Amino acid sequence: MTRDKNEWIRYKAVMELRHFEEKKVVESLIDRLSNDVNPTIQAYAAESLQYHKDKSSVVPLFHALDHKEPEVRECAAVALGWMEARSAIASIKEKLKKERSPRAKMRFYVALYSLGEKEHIYNIYSFLANRSPYMRESTAGYISLLPIDREIKKKKLEEIWEQETVDWVKSSISDKLKMLE
């Protein structure tokens, strides 16, 4: 199904493969990351690879850091971070210097934080003030997932919840706060 002509079927297959453990699954995800014509499918293939933590996906994820689409670059960076691929730190930092997409930058910082570069939490926090509600909501989501002290995380999310003016973002942050209770 990962090679079906229908993009929706490929997308759904790539998303579901994160739940299965087999070498062929990782191979299929690497194939979609490297060869699919749809960047969204490539991005979700990168995202799904992070759940497998298979070292054979590190090199293709490194290559994806140079993809022309920011969506693919950002998912590859986060995948490398969640996979604890410490060899990616220098590359992520180098790519970050050239990155123009705010969303990709934020995710590059998430990757670096996940790889032990804890000072980047302040860079991540800075995206909570972004004018885009999508950016603020996405940043809050990552903060809720990162291995930050529970009380610090809760305090930060409460602070941004109080400042938030967009209802759906406020609701999303509220949901994340409930999960921390």
pLDDT in tens, 153-169: 999 999 999 999 999 99
Sign (positive/negative) of CA torsion 127, 131, 137, 140? positive
The CA–CA distances, whole Å, from 83 to 78, 152, 154 equal: 8, 24, 25
pTM across the whole model: 0.92
The pLDDT, as a whole number, for residue 181 is: 86
Q: What residues make up the domain containing 132?
A: 123-181
Residues 12 and 30 in one domain: yes
- Of 116, 144, 173, which residue sits at a domain end? 116
pLDDT < 70: residue spans in the chain: none
